[in-house]
Amino acid sequence: MSRPDPILVDDWHAVVALQILRARGAFATRLLGIRIEIDRVGSDDVGVVRCDTGAALPARIEYGYVFTSLGEPDRDVVHFPEWHEADRLCVSGSSVGVHVSGLRAVENFLDLGHFPFVHTNYLGVEPHTEVEPYRVTVTEENEILATECRFFQPHSSPSAAGGRMIDYEYRVCRPYTACLYKINPIEPARKDFIALLLQPVTEERCVVHPCLAYLPHGLDTRSLRAFQQLIFGQDRPILENQVPKRLPLDPRAEIPARSDATSLAYRRWLTAQGVTWGAIPAPA
């Protein structure tokens, strides 16, 4: 296995849901190939150590998860303002291990084109398969932003009462972190928020830690979590069947149909930042 890239070593990564840690008292997992253990210390404090050296690692609690880093983070845990808006229903947990690179999971999350075929009758339906042109930019903060995305969705959210065009925006904040904003079907002036925090376990395995901040109309934690699990249950077999399991960064390598603008931007952006772990770098 190759050495993880400095940008990944020095980043924060979600490694366990707080509710799991509270129930079990201690939790062992892998981060960037290194075995780590997370322990409860006192009522709501946590300690993280790497098992190979015994060294204590930094820890933060955000969005219902424990975050840690194998290096020296020069920036904070990613910031999601929507999570802190008082009237939203915020749900995290239900993390799922997936046998594929976390970079593949991010790319799949950014792919509008798979909706009618993978999330049939929920996030898409034939014959509405056309991905309309949209804008992709890299911001001053070095995040990828895809805007003006639109897609016909028969059942866009657990609160949706029928099909309609749904406006989307995507944001890739860190190599293993992406989020999306989609119009709420009942309150279309505001957007529901979904983030995926990918824990890089090995180069070919990840844990998907979801983070949802929805407008609460008619929803409760259970219905929102059930919808998210249903949708991700449709993605998981597709992800685990991807070959190769690492993400090819060569722009000439296979690209998912249609949503190629965001996929290409993501692959270029990873290459520019020296991300190779979980990827197959483009030939020089």
Instruction: Catalog residues that contact Fe ion under the rule CB under 5 A.
Output: 235
Describe the chain by its helix, strand, coil percentages, rounded to 5.
20, 35, 40
Q: Which helix (H) or strand (E) holds 251?
A: none
Give the shortest CB-210-to-Fe ion separation in angstroms: 12
Question: Closer to Fe ion at the Cβ: 107 or 235?
Answer: 235
Q: Tell me if 170 sits within 8 A of 180, measured CB to CB.
A: yes
Measured distance CA(116)–CA(221) in Å, rounded: 26
CB atoms within 10 A of CB 127: 7
Give the shortest CB-131-to-Fe ion separation in angstroms: 14
Length of the chain: 284
Q: What angle in degrees, to the nearest 10, is found between the helix axes of 102-109 and 260-272?
A: 140
DSSP state for residue 124 in the 8-state scheme: B
Give the shortest CB-182-to-Fe ion separation in angstroms: 13
Measured distance CA(150)–CA(139) in Å, rounded: 21
Give the shortest CB-203-to-Fe ion separation in angstroms: 22
Question: Closer to Fe ion at the Cβ: 203 or 235?
Answer: 235
Closest-approach residue to Fe ion (CB): 235
Question: Closer to Fe ion at the Cβ: 11 or 235?
Answer: 235
Give the shortest CB-234-to-Fe ion separation in angstroms: 6
Question: Closer to Fe ion at the Cβ: 82 or 235?
Answer: 235
Give the shortest CB-237-to-Fe ion separation in angstroms: 11
Tell me the DSSP string of 128-170: -------EEEE-TTS-EEEEEEEEEESS-STT--S-EEEEEEE
